[in-house]
Chain A
Amino acid sequence: MVMTSGYHGESTMLTLTFNGHPRQLDNIPAQTTALALLRDRFATCGTKEGCASGDCGACTIAIGTRDDAGHLHYHGANACILPAHQLQGCHVVTVEGLAHGDGLHPVQQAMVDHHGSQCGFCTPGIVMSLFCLDHERRHHGLDSPPDDDTIDAALGGNLCRCTGYRAIRDAARAMHALPSPVSDDTVDIAPAARSTTDGFYRPESRRELITLLSQHPQARLIAGGTDLMLEHTLALKPLPELIDLSSVAELKHIKEEKSGWWIGAGVTYHQLTSLLAEHYPAFHTLLERLGSQQIRHRATLAGNLANASPIGDTPPILLALGARLRINGIRGAREVFIDDFFTGYRRTVLTEGEYLDAIYLPRLRNGEQLLAWKLSKRRDDDISAVMLALRTVIGEDGRLHEVRVACGGMAETSQRARHVEAALEGQVLDDEVLNDACNALAEDFSPIDDVRASRDYRLAGAAGLLARACHRLTSRHDAIPMTLEEV
């Protein structure tokens, strides 16, 4: 069988369960994607490559893990940018694994009944995203069609160029009514093998991680891989040595303290959902537009920060919140304030042998408000052209206090907008104050034209978001909608 990955580094044992059957493999180079594993090693080609960058969803597979009660739960992932080694100990289900004999899975049957495929190339990915949704809903005993928001969220990472989606949505609404598929709770999942050799390192504790960092200074860190793997799949860079943060037990926790939460570097966006929904609704709403469900199930907040892209969605929010970061490494731990973390275009204070260990989100105190929005060409699964986050508290005097405003897409890093903050601080919001604040944007930022937006749009859009924020802060709850969501 021909491998599309050319690097032949040292081998690692990989144990997983594939469509119900145990598989043990060796000689899988660290950079090998799950998609290459499926298509080249297993010769199961139902899972497609449409982009190799995580954007189209044609490669969507379901990754199953067991909860404490022994039930399997699945999430969708983009096999094209998922390192095969991260499938250790998982149940991998692909489009080939759903039908039993002649009987189609209800998701498949619903897609056929509702004419949900035309060219069919997106279909395996769509089927797998719907499978994850259906499986979860059946698990929770939901015997009703999912609503539009749920469907759009489930399919936000699956592009279809042919159908216009209506037929697929109808299938999603109909699948629950079909008889339950054969239960997979009895599937034996082969436990993860301990990594025995070099290449893809899976430390299970902080201590192991730090030892590996000192032993392999050349190795790259990988969490969700949703940024890193694109270096290999698009830019063809070899990634011969990877240290996987997603297996480190101590990094997987969210630790609550009195005045906030420590978010471990291994915590995925998906795992943050309920915390954000309860305590930072604006962050939660934004998260629903960050990437797709496939991305959010793998990617981490720490990865977004360490990646230090000027158009990352979360840095402006963390800047507005005043987050703190714990850095750890071969020379010991230290803490930095988010304001000091980014040092330039895609650069941070992290030095060799260091990693970002956890992020501290301060709890919003009474009266404190966090607002955040992004602007992008497409609503779902698109990178920001402009991102704006604002935190403030309106005092008894009706004035804004402790204003922190930060923007993304406006400079070479995400940045505080100090002039805007100054224009707002201590003021009662009125047209004049807002105008001053909007004008101050041009003092804080001198954005550039690029493929996502022009300089003018960035400034105008940021001003629009600032105006939206001010409307929100002065809202008198009348019937006039101020955002599209309110219409």
Chain B
Amino acid sequence: MRKLIQFGSLPSATATAAVPGHDSAIGHVTGQAAYIDDLPGPKGMHHLAVGLSPHSSARVLHMDLSEVRRQPGVIDVITAADIPGHNEVGAVYPGDPLLAEKEVRYAGQMVFAVVADTLYNARCAVAHARIDYHLQTPALDPAASIRAGLTVLPEHIHERPLPAPALDRGAAMSDDTQTSGNVDKALQRAPHVLEGEQFIGGQEHFYLEGQIAQAEALDDNGLRVLTSSQHPSEVQKLVAEVLAMPLHAIVAEVRRMGGGFGGKESQAAALGAMAALAVHRNGCAVRFRLPRADDMQATGKRHPFHNRYRVGFDDTGRLTGADITLIGNCGHSPDLSEGVVDRAMFHADNAYYLGDARVTGHRAMTHTASNTAFRGFGGPQGMMPIEGAMDDIARTLGLDPLDVRKRNLYDEAHCETHYGQHIDQPLIGELIETLEASSDYRTRRREITAFNAKSPVIRKGLALTPVKFGISFTARHLNQAGALLMIYTDGSVLINHGGTEMGQGLHTKVCQVVAKELGIAHHRVRISATRTDKVPNTSPTAASSGADLNAMAARNAAITLRERLVDFAAGWRGLPREQLTLEADGLSAGETRIEWSELIQQAYLGRVSLSATGHYATPEIYYDRKTGRGRPFFYYAWGAAVSEVHMDTLTGEYRVARVDILHDVGDSLNPAIDRGQIEGGFVQGMGWLTTEELRWDAEGHLLTTGPATYKIPACGDAPRDFRVALLEGHPNSQATIYRSKAVGEPPLMLAISVWSALRDAIASLADDHTSPRLDTPATPERVLMACRAIREAHAHDAPSTRKEMTHALSEK
């Protein structure tokens, strides 16, 4: 028999604080945590760079890459013709070739690849390509694309009540201005109706670690791909398809990402496939890292949206009907746009009962990078019209926007969404009451009104906005996960699962769950890279579902092993099975204690299998696309934020002075990690709505290709007074992992309060009776222009007000 390791050789109870921090925290702060570009490359590794299309829409006439081949260090130049399998890396629908063939469909599209000894040489060589293009007129305006019938997928409609007779909705609704149905009647009957339009900008993910993959050949005709991807199974599958190889020959592996945010859900696959293709052709290992500017041009972003809304309401501000049209700018191909626009539609109500409602979603094609998943997945863009409308209604009626919001919240009496899902835990009313009090909303509202009345240049704004976010993938089959749990003879435990770690603390949470189920200290559980040869057929780590799915799968695996160990112990010691529990690093049965390590060694000697898989599938969810009804979400997460902004009406500059957040995570798995998600999501959402501006020129070239021109929030932008609390005492009504709730995406939308507060500050220039249009991102430029517009309009309405308050020196 092999010698077993002695008891006690594991570090005992070090760093076993009640709530563990991020599993890689020490690696992060010491620089030991390695990302793909940090790994020593295998011997002879080469580097890959890509040639990007300089045009947004063109036919490729002729490619001369002979000069590229002759550049120093170059060993290979690859075009679409060199792909042995499918030239396709689309996530759901086709339309995303790995390399462009006969046509290019956006500026920044990958056209050819160069493999060289150094990244610098590969990048320099790219510039020597001579490619003739025949230019075509690009489609760049999503609204114009919809008018011209240019879409990536058909439109989709939610309507309540269902139009009768339930005819073929596709045909009936193909004209989105048609006026039949109850919604239109409701709007006709409404005491007040108002409408609005808004342009909601996209967002670059700006994960700090750019896209990267590294591939190498294995000695058995297999291929190993290290990828910075939220979806290693998809990398595996697409590599296999591009190379015409079976899936079992490919291993995709992710240890950690330097941020993902949705940008590495579908977009990472192209890098893996390209690196694998280069390995396949050249034998040597190949690393493919996109430099920042290439990354920003080549990969998709958050969808910009063009939204229109018409709402009917009574004198108290209660909604009686809503007609909301959402046009998502999908870019050149479908990618994940089906789900993104669906989710926008599912969130058009945000936390409000809309009354009779119609929500129409369009998927416009434009000649830009194919827009993709980004934290919230369309939800944020979909919420913007109704949040805009709440402010508009309040200004029309002369009410505080908070009162209008509160009047329309889902509650026990109004708890069915416009797509027919019953809301069984409408926590938002209570949550807002609590936050309103803890943030001192009413007092501050009075103070701000008084301040604004006396302040000609600086204005303050305040807003409280809610979030309701549906948790589950809307593609039903993705709601499953697997895990592999192994116990070694020294009692140390290794868990693998299908989720990937991008900073969100998923691995930490999964380890916590395993430790808890096995009754052992956290430090005994170790997690390693996510690998497709350990847990197969996994879903992307996305839709906030990472912990919901994978921790459940891990828990199921742990329960299997726990039961096995208990069975074994009962037989071994002849103890009554029902009295046995695993706790405090061992087995207890009344007075009897068996230390964990001893139990494991005995189990091993007793020939008990010490590994198990676990699987989990979310119950109860379904959605019927035909009728636009169902229960797409297992449950909802709730939250609300109060933001106060200070704004300079001379320049449009502003500061977010104070933010109060109350957020629902059910029973938190890890409050420190959840708080980090809430704060990070909020600031990222704030960036989306304020300073992060994507700009293209008239030919469709992205102009903001780096952090010098694309400005994500810096430390000084984050609110200094930032009060975040978790809603207590409301475990998830659904049987999720320990009654917790997902937390990755929902907090992003709390930042809508910043946008709403800016509108509030601007509206103060017109005595709060006019609702300013404020497209996003609300850069200082847009804010200043909105200030000027509202002042001009107001000066017309109220001639007594000085027109050029901007210059009113004497008013001080």
Distance (Å) between the CB of B202 and the closest chain A CB?
Answer: 15
A362 to B616, CA, bound (A): 74
Chain A, residue nearest B120 (CB): A6
Residues in A with CB closer than 8 Å to B455 are 480-481
Asked if A111 and B206 sit within 8 Å, CB to CB, the answer is: no
Residues in A with CB closer than 8 Å to B5 are none
Complex A-B: 15 CB contacts under 8 Å: A46-B30, A112-B21, A116-B29, A119-B502, A124-B31, A161-B261, A375-B651, A377-B691, A430-B810, A451-B709, A457-B652, A457-B785, A460-B785, A467-B807, A484-B654
Asked if A380 and B781 sit within 8 Å, CB to CB, the answer is: no
Asked if B703 and A380 sit within 8 Å, CB to CB, the answer is: no
Asked if B679 and A108 sit within 8 Å, CB to CB, the answer is: no
Given contacts A120-B503, A121-B35, A161-B208, A127 and B807 within 8 Å (CB-CB): no
Distance (Å) between the CB of B647 and the closest chain A CB?
Answer: 8
Task: State the majority secondary structure of interface residues on A.
Answer: loop
**Residues 775-807 (chain B) with a chain A CB within 8 angstroms:** 779-781, 784-785, 788, 804, 806-807
Interface presence of B653 (CB below 8 A): yes
A152 to B35, CA, bound (A): 27
A129 to B208, CA, bound (A): 17
A58 to B40, CA, bound (A): 20
Chain B interface: which of A271-279, A381-389, A393-401, A413-421? Answer: A381-389
Distance (Å) between the CB of A344 and the closest chain B CB?
Answer: 23
Interface presence of B714 (CB below 8 A): yes
Contact of B28 among A99, A117, A457, A482 (CB under 8 A): A117
A226 to B120, CA, bound (A): 20
Asked if B208 and A435 sit within 8 Å, CB to CB, the answer is: no
Distance (Å) between the CB of B686 and the closest chain A CB?
Answer: 9
Interface presence of A267 (CB below 8 A): no
Count the A residues whose beta carbon is within 8 Å of the partner chain — how many?
Answer: 102
Asked if A375 and B28 sit within 8 Å, CB to CB, the answer is: no
- A-B pairs with the 5 shortest C-beta distances? A46-B31, A119-B503, A121-B258, A120-B28, A464-B650
Asked if B809 and A431 sit within 8 Å, CB to CB, the answer is: yes
Distance (Å) between the CB of A67 and the closest chain B CB?
Answer: 28
Distance (Å) between the CB of B694 and the closest chain A CB?
Answer: 10
Given contacts A96-B31, A481-B458, A161 and B684 within 8 Å (CB-CB): yes
Asked if B691 and A166 sit within 8 Å, CB to CB, the answer is: no
Asked if B259 and A162 sit within 8 Å, CB to CB, the answer is: yes
A46 to B780, CA, bound (A): 36
Asked if B208 and A159 sit within 8 Å, CB to CB, the answer is: yes
Interface string of B492-535 (1 = CB under 8 A from A): 00000000001111000000000000000000000000000000
Asked if A236 and B680 sit within 8 Å, CB to CB, the answer is: no
Asked if B706 and A45 sit within 8 Å, CB to CB, the answer is: no
Interface presence of B34 (CB below 8 A): yes
Distance (Å) between the CB of A438 and the closest chain B CB?
Answer: 7
Interface presence of B673 (CB below 8 A): yes
Interface string of A337-363 (1 = CB under 8 A from B): 000000000000000000000000000
Contact of A452 among B27, B650, B709 (CB under 8 A): B709
Asked if B21 and A120 sit within 8 Å, CB to CB, the answer is: no
Interface presence of A143 (CB below 8 A): no
Chain B interface: which of A48-56, A84-92, A314-322, A324-332? Answer: A48-56
Interface presence of B646 (CB below 8 A): yes
Asked if A45 and B29 sit within 8 Å, CB to CB, the answer is: no
Asked if A165 and B683 sit within 8 Å, CB to CB, the answer is: yes
Residues in A with CB closer than 8 Å to B454 are 480
Interface string of A450-461 (1 = CB under 8 A from B): 111110110011
A30 to B269, CA, bound (A): 37
A435 to B291, CA, bound (A): 48
Distance (Å) between the CB of B268 and the closest chain A CB?
Answer: 14
Chain B interface: which of A69-77, A187-195, A239-247, A471-479? Answer: A471-479
Residues in A with CB closer than 8 Å to B714 are 155-156, 159, 378-381
Residues in B with CB closer than 8 Å to A483 are 457-458, 648
Task: State the majority secondary structure of interface residues on B.
Answer: loop
Asked if A50 and B812 sit within 8 Å, CB to CB, the answer is: no
Give 18 new A-B contacts, CB below 8 A, not counting A115-B676, A430-B809, A484-B458.
Answer: A5-B118, A45-B37, A46-B30, A115-B22, A115-B672, A115-B673, A119-B257, A119-B503, A121-B209, A159-B206, A377-B780, A378-B711, A450-B703, A452-B709, A454-B781, A464-B652, A480-B454, A484-B647
Chain A interface: which of B606-614, B628-636, B716-724? Answer: B716-724
Residues in A with CB closer than 8 Å to B807 are 431, 434-435, 438, 467
A196 to B703, CA, bound (A): 43
Distance (Å) between the CB of B674 and the closest chain A CB?
Answer: 10
A47 to B779, CA, bound (A): 32
Interface presence of B256 (CB below 8 A): yes
**Residues 117-175 (chain A) with a chain B CB within 8 angstroms:** 117-124, 127, 148, 151-152, 155-156, 158-169
Interface presence of B121 (CB below 8 A): yes
Asked if A234 and B293 sit within 8 Å, CB to CB, the answer is: yes
Asked if B810 and A236 sit within 8 Å, CB to CB, the answer is: no
Asked if B809 and A127 sit within 8 Å, CB to CB, the answer is: no
Residues in B with CB closer than 8 Å to A115 are 21-22, 25, 672-673, 675-676
A366 to B37, CA, bound (A): 58
Residues in B with CB closer than 8 Å to A53 are 292, 706-708
Chain A, residue nearest B292 (CB): A51
Asked if B679 and A166 sit within 8 Å, CB to CB, the answer is: yes
A50 to B37, CA, bound (A): 11
Residues in B with CB closer than 8 Å to A43 are 40
**Residues 1-37 (chain B) with a chain A CB within 8 angstroms:** 21-22, 24-35, 37
Interface presence of B456 (CB below 8 A): yes
**Residues 441-471 (chain B) with a chain A CB within 8 angstroms:** 454-458, 460
Contact of B208 among A50, A96, A377 (CB under 8 A): A50
Asked if B118 and A3 sit within 8 Å, CB to CB, the answer is: yes
Asked if A451 and B704 sit within 8 Å, CB to CB, the answer is: yes
Interface presence of B536 (CB below 8 A): no
